[in-house]
Amino acid sequence: MSRPRHYVPCISRNVVCALFHEAKHRRKPMTRLVDELLTAALTGTPGWQIAHTPSSVIQESPPTVYSPPRP
């Protein structure tokens, strides 16, 4: 299985459940709802400003080759 290239945070089960039901209520995909909610909450914050400056572009490193442990 490939390793993710970006940090993937663990979200509590209760939050995922609330997102599922809210997305169903709004008749839109959960991913779009999460993006809209986070964008609205983070716009204008220091983290948002840092993430949207040209110098904050993170260069992707080449994929790590998996080496199984030796017996």
pLDDT tens string 10-66: 999 999 999 999 999 999 999 999 999 999 999 999 999 999 888 755 555 555 566
Task: Tell whether 17 is covered by a domain.
Answer: yes
Answer whether 0.75 is exceeded by the pTM: no
**Is residue 33 a contact partner of residue 26, using CB atoms and an 8 Å limit?**
yes
pLDDT band at 8; cut points 50, 70, 90: confident
Boundaries of domain holding 31: 10-41
30 part of a folded domain: yes
| Number of domains comprising the chain | 1
Q: Does the residue 60 lie in any domain?
A: no
Planar angle of CA 55, 59, 60, nearest 5 degrees: 155
| Predicted local distance difference test score (pLDDT) of residue 6 | 80
| 68 within domain boundaries | no
- The predicted structure's pLDDT at residue 67: 63
